[in-house]
Amino acid sequence: MSTKLAGTKSETDKEKLIQDIRAVVADAEELLRATAGQAGDKVSAARERIQENLVIAKARLNAAEFEMIEKTKQAAKATDEYVHDNPWTAIGVGASVGVIIGMLIGRGR
């Protein structure tokens, strides 16, 4: 069960990373639009490098997002199969978790 919890944390970290990268890409695109009127060889060269890196970053981001979605689908399918194969175990685990949460909420009052 600890492997599944570690996998969940990893997925959450990946989601956060994807959100952060999307924000950086959006900021870089906004910077490119804002400097579109700037002239000069250095500015033009920097803009071209940024645009090339943005294309690469977007491709990698899309690939990472696709991989995360596929892994999530696989985890959901495995969970569904497990619950169908072991309904009483799933009910027992769910009830146990519910009791523990109920006890924790009861202590908070």
pLDDT at residue 68 in the model: 86
- The string of pLDDT tens digits covering residues 42-96 is 777 777 888 888 888 888 888 888 988 899 899 999 999 998 998 999 899 999 9
pLDDT at residue 5 in the model: 46
Q: Do the Cβ atoms of 28 and 49 come closer than 8 Å?
A: no
6 or 103, which is more confident: 103
Q: CB within 8 A of 15, min separation 6: which ones? A: 68
**Structural domain containing residue 90:** 2-107
Q: Do the Cβ atoms of 25 and 58 come closer than 8 Å?
A: yes
Q: Do the Cβ atoms of 28 and 54 come closer than 8 Å?
A: yes
Number of structural domains in the chain: 1
- The string of pLDDT tens digits covering residues 7-33 is 567 777 777 877 878 888 887 888 777
| Cα angle value 94/96/97 (rounded, 5°) | 65
Q: Do the Cβ atoms of 51 and 32 come closer than 8 Å?
A: yes
